[in-house]
Amino acid sequence: MVGEELRHFYNAMEAEARSILAFWEKYAPDPQGGFYGVVDAELKPHTDARRHIVLNARLIWTFAAACRTLGDQNYKEMAQRAYDYVLSNFIDDEFGGAFWELNSDGTVYDTTKRTYGQAFVIYGLSEYYAAFGDERALGQAVAVYRSLEEHVYDKQNKGYYEALTRDWKFEQRMQVSNINPYSSATKTMNTHLHLLEAYTALYKAWSDAGLRDKLYQQIEIMIEKIIDHNTWHFKLFFDDQWNSLSPVVSYGHDIEGSWLLWEAAEALGDDRLKERVKVVSLNMAQAVLKEGWHKNGGIINESMPEGVVDLHRVWWVQAEAVVGFLNAWQLTGEDKYLDAAKAVWEFVDKELIDHVNGGWFSFAISDQKHANRIDGWTCPYHNTRMCLELMQRLEGVQDHGSK
């Protein structure tokens, strides 16, 4: 791809970032405070819907990152709105960490300390600190990190439990959630992947020696426990001793993990580690490139060895594929990866972007699957991050072609 084409790609990412952010500025804020828990497929807010820590923490990250990358101070208002709401309503002042879910009026509905949610609190607050220098944000991120290390870390087998009670007690039944179908799965890929990105973001803001050691360990767990070195896919669910409980392949998590692992290794600045991670990252990207395509474009959601496949083209999977394939191109200079990133982006533009109202649909138009436009899991984090990541990565290569 020549420099002119790269500039076009860069400009498309900036324009799309601003479009996504405008959609969220218009439809997400609740005039009564905070943000709606659900806005449905018809763009109607559900004022009684519960409010999720994942969405609210991701809103902190998204608008803080947008302010920092795009240089637009107008995004600070949304970032601060999310930041204030999380600190005032989700943070548990008695036991530390964050609650999983609130009622629509801001009172606590679910006090469970799910590690996945804690990870996004760390991630969002670390970015808020990076964007605005708010010491309280960094202090709270560090406090949540320390709670995880004190209460959630498995000192015998390593890794982190999926969920604990409000006062950080382990109960087997609490491991089950809408992201973990197995009560026996005390550890999951998804939680560890997002802890990896959270610890990476926190380390960039706070270069603590203990955190550095934990980030090394997180990379080691991902490579040695969670990645299947025969297939180069993530295994998804595990018991205490890291025995895999499911054969399902998640292509979106695979391609997302391929670049988040590289980001973590880069943050540590260890050349030997980077060489090791580079091989793993590229093997994972190649596996998705080879196996993950839908016959009509885009990356499919899941597959299983017996041939059961979820062919839906989910919004966040496409966003992560654009970044993951571009990352593989930057690591190799092989145009097949850049071509793949472009192909997924063209699919997104055709099938996922709402060119009338702004924002993205949750599934490809041709999948004919209606879903909420905003809810606890449908957020502006994956797709805005795609845009901001590509802007940062393409800025230095627009005039030079492939590396």
The pLDDT, as a whole number, for residue 207 is 97
Number of domains in the chain: 1
The pLDDT, as a whole number, for residue 112 is 98
pLDDT band for position 398 (cuts 50, 70, 90): low
pLDDT tens for residues 79-91?
999 999 999 999 9
Question: What CATH number is given to the structural domain containing 71?
Answer: 1.50.10.10
**Domain membership of residue 20 as a residue range:** 3-395
Q: Is the pLDDT of residue 396 over 80?
A: no
Residue 80 lies in a domain: yes
Q: Is the pLDDT of residue 402 over 60?
A: no
The pLDDT, as a whole number, for residue 403 is 39
How many percent of the chain have pLDDT more than 70? 98
Q: Is the pLDDT of residue 195 over 60?
A: yes
The whole-angstrom separation of Cα 119 and Cα 100 is 12
The pLDDT, as a whole number, for residue 400 is 44
Tokens 């809408």, residue located: 178
The whole-angstrom separation of Cα 315 and Cα 130 is 27
Mean pLDDT on 307-325: 96
pLDDT tens for residues 95-139?
999 999 999 999 999 999 999 999 999 999 999 999 999 999 999
Residue 402 lies in a domain: no
Q: At a CB cut-off of 8 Å and minimum separation 6, what does 207 contact?
A: none
Mean pLDDT on 177-202: 96
Q: What is the pTM of this model?
A: 0.97
Supply the mean pLDDT for the chain.
Answer: 96
Residue 263 lies in a domain: yes
pLDDT tens for residues 204-215?
999 999 999 999
Q: Is the pLDDT of residue 10 over 70?
A: yes
Residue 268 lies in a domain: yes
Mean pLDDT on 188-195: 98
The pLDDT, as a whole number, for residue 401 is 44
The pLDDT, as a whole number, for residue 2 is 62
pLDDT tens for residues 236-289?
999 999 999 999 999 999 999 999 999 999 999 999 999 999 999 999 999 999
pLDDT band for position 3 (cuts 50, 70, 90): confident
Residue 403 lies in a domain: no
Residue 307 lies in a domain: yes
Mean pLDDT on 50-70: 98
The pLDDT, as a whole number, for residue 308 is 86
pLDDT band for position 68 (cuts 50, 70, 90): very high
Residue 401 lies in a domain: no
Residue 400 lies in a domain: no
